[in-house]
Structure 1
Amino acid sequence: MRKLAALLALVASPALATELTIEIEGEANGTVTIDLFEDVAPGHVEQIAALAAEGKYDGVVFHRVIDGFMAQTGDVQFGKMGGDMSRAGMGGSERPDLTAEFSKESFDRGVVGMARGPNPNSANSQFFIMFAPAPHLNGQYTIVGKVTDGMDVVDAIKRGTGNNGSVVGQPDMMKSVTVIK
């Protein structure tokens, strides 16, 4: 009977939530809080949480920012502040690429998606935050979470003026990224 009661209590309790807190520095200054969706993209959330816990995202820039669309960051290989920014956006982590976890979630304002190359199973460490809805991305990119606080900070991120939204000059960066379970 005890085992049944414990099992029922576990089933009735809310799922463990993972929260990402990002301290942004640059033209945008402040904290952004993201609720990561373990139930929607468990593999992607595990990878992001592990990279954050290892400090890999600390000091990584927003290398591609397109006004009215999204802000992209997370290149832990080539996107560190102080590095050669000409390659920012071309790298990933030492971890393996991820199998796509497409869902019925929509790319609305504040939604966080995983960046990838032409292969749907090539997401690794880079992610983007939506400034506005982009329904053409639905079912094409993995949704990993949503901004729950600090969207005003996201809105202030320096926009890219270079090719395909690349940021020219000093980009904004994720000073620190913390994961809370």
Structure 2
Amino acid sequence: MRNPKKRWLNILVCLLLVSGLMITGCSDAPSNSETISSANTTDNEQISFPRLEGNAVVQMTIKGSPVTIEIKGEDAPITAGNFVDLVERGFYDGLIFHRVVTDPKPFVAQGGDPKGNGTGGFIDPDTQQERRIPLEIKLKGDETPTYSKALGQQGSGTVASQPVVLKHERGAVAMARSGMPDSASSQFYFALSDLEFLNGDYAVFGKVTQGMDVVDAIKQGDRIDSAKVVSGLENLKKE
């Protein structure tokens, strides 16, 4: 028989961990519903974000050691396109991992904040505004992702009956965001273990294929030496 006290303790721990994925200090993000005409649109002309129309590979060097990340543009074109665009710009070079949680169990290593404190994002030099991308979740059986809507425990709960394509498995790479669905900018995290309870609420866009030992060894304050696109850059579409 399950111990109810232990069950509620596990739920509380999960809630505390999830709260840390949320970017703090940001004003409410404007909804992208005006630029994304429907929940499952594929019309490039209506989306003013970089898109990755296919897959790519990024090599990130952390404390002198390489980490290879497969970027899944086929299943998360906007989220993947945003990340690859930032890598190409050199945005992540020199940034720190401002949040690393390994206790009571391996959770995430989170970085990509130019301010280094969990409150920052990418300021687009063309608009002088912070670029915030829509929450993008693709469910198995769907041809296109669902946008701007949490589908997991924080939202409709749809993933209970229709699982996500890109799961929060150990080594997954996903975007951090605030309480607003369309608020992810540049902050990302590595999943240090299987985190099924995050499926559908945060956008996974890639997975570590080599160098997971390097990711496991990340400490808070460690820096990204560099990040570069080693293949698939031709799949990045900026217009």
TM-score range, shorter chain: 0.7 to 0.9
Q: Which of the residues 68, 74, 93 maps onto 2:112?
A: 74
- The answer for the alignment partner of 2:175 in structure 1 is 114
| Cα pair 2:177 2:183 within 8 Å, conserved | yes
Please give the residue correspondences for 1:91-130 in structure 2 after superposition, counting only pairs within 5 Å: 91-95=120-124, 96-103=131-138, 104=164, 105-130=166-191
User: Which one is further off, 136-145 or 93-102?
Assistant: 93-102
Q: Which of the residues 153, 160, 178 maps onto 2:228?
A: 178
- The answer for the alignment partner of 2:199 in structure 1 is 138
Q: How many residues in Structure 1 have an aligned counterpart in Structure 2? A: 144
* Separation of aligned partners in 2, 1:135 and 1:142: 13
* Separation of aligned partners in 1, 2:225 and 2:203: 25
Please give the residue correspondences for 1:1-181 in structure 2 after superposition, counting only pairs within 5 Å: 16-25=54-63, 29-67=64-102, 68-75=106-113, 77-79=114-116, 88-95=117-124, 96-103=131-138, 104=164, 105-158=166-219, 167=220, 171-180=221-230, 181=232
**2:121 partner amino acid:** G
| Cα pair 1:40 1:143 within 8 Å, conserved | no
* Separation of aligned partners in 2, 1:106 and 1:51: 23
For residues 41-74 of structure 1, the C-alpha deviation after alignment (integer angstroms, 9 at most, x for no partner) is 1111111111111111000001100001010011
Which runs of at least 4 in structure 1 moved beyond 4 Å after TM superposition?
none
* Separation of aligned partners in 2, 1:129 and 1:141: 12
- The percentage of counterpart residues that share the same residue type is 40
* Separation of aligned partners in 1, 2:77 and 2:54: 12
* Separation of aligned partners in 2, 1:16 and 1:42: 8
**2:120 partner amino acid:** G
* Separation of aligned partners in 1, 2:120 and 2:55: 28
Question: Helix, strand or coil for the counterpart of 2:133?
Answer: coil
**2:56 partner amino acid:** T
TM-score by length of 2: 0.58
Distance 1:106 1:16, change over 3 A: closer
CA RMSD of aligned residues (A): 1.2
- The answer for the alignment partner of 1:7 in structure 2 is none
Consecutive unaligned residues of structure 1, counting only runs of 5 or more, are: 1-14, 80-87, 159-166
**2:223 partner amino acid:** M
* Separation of aligned partners in 1, 2:133 and 2:79: 7
| Cα pair 1:58 1:174 within 8 Å, conserved | yes
